[in-house]
Structure 1
């Protein structure tokens, strides 16, 4: 899925396809396949996703992003936080409870919004939602 590597700046193009997954673990599988084909480890956390983006320069196209917005929306985010609270350590349960409360109150971010924020925080990446 990496193409366009022949231009002067060696910028890449990658496609994340929302039709290939319907949950966060599926998203991690997709980005591992797309962005880390030749690596022997896979992304499995939000921090890990953020980390791999430092080595990428170019365009990331997120196809079926509206589907992903639904799949990684309120309900998935609520379950994500509840599971971390149940697990307890090493997670900061108070912080996660606050994030869950914010989500329920309509002021918190969904997983999809967090992923978009992570992508947009990397100035070396041009994100296109399709």
Structure 2
């Protein structure tokens, strides 16, 4: 990892390395959890590991990721959770799916960006 302008570490998420959520989690695990014996596998898990991150993040090929993690994959993500049922809150997920279908809901890409931006110690640059 190289130092950014403000002497903080700079981490690069490379959108060219993945095209789905599992691939994103793999990329994140490689970047932030090399020495750990578990990998990120959920949105909550991703949020949790960012509490220990003191690095600015550049998301390279973010337009590709925005497309890859967009409407279609998000719809499939919610439909899978509804199909699985418990332990997921199916009513809440149906509402999120409905919002997505109505053009009001967030895509997975937007959710991931929101998670990163919710951490004040991290500056996100979409490249």
Which category describes the TM-score, using the shorter chain as reference length?
A: over 0.9
Q: TM-score, normalised by structure 2?
A: 0.95
In structure 2, the partner of 1:3 is 2
Q: Does 1:65 align with 2:91?
A: no
Q: Does 1:129 align with 2:120?
A: no
Q: 1:27 aligns with which of 5, 17, 24?
A: 24
Q: TM-score, normalised by structure 1?
A: 0.93
Q: Is the 8 A contact 1:12 1:56 kept in 2?
A: no
Cα distance, 1:79 vs structure 2:
0.0
Runs (4+) of structure 1 exceeding 3 A deviation are none
Q: What SS does structure 1 have at the residue aligned with 2:3? A: coil
Superposition CA RMSD, Å: 1.6
CA distance in 1, matches of 2:55, 2:31: 13
In structure 2, the partner of 1:47 is 44
State how many pairs are aligned: 127
Q: Does 1:120 align with 2:114?
A: no
CA distance in 1, matches of 2:22, 2:88: 18
CA distance in 2, matches of 1:60, 1:20: 15
Query: Within 5 A, what are the aligned runs for 1:82-121?
Result: 82-121=79-118
Q: Is the 8 A contact 1:13 1:59 kept in 2?
A: yes
Q: What SS does structure 2 have at the residue aligned with 1:44? A: coil
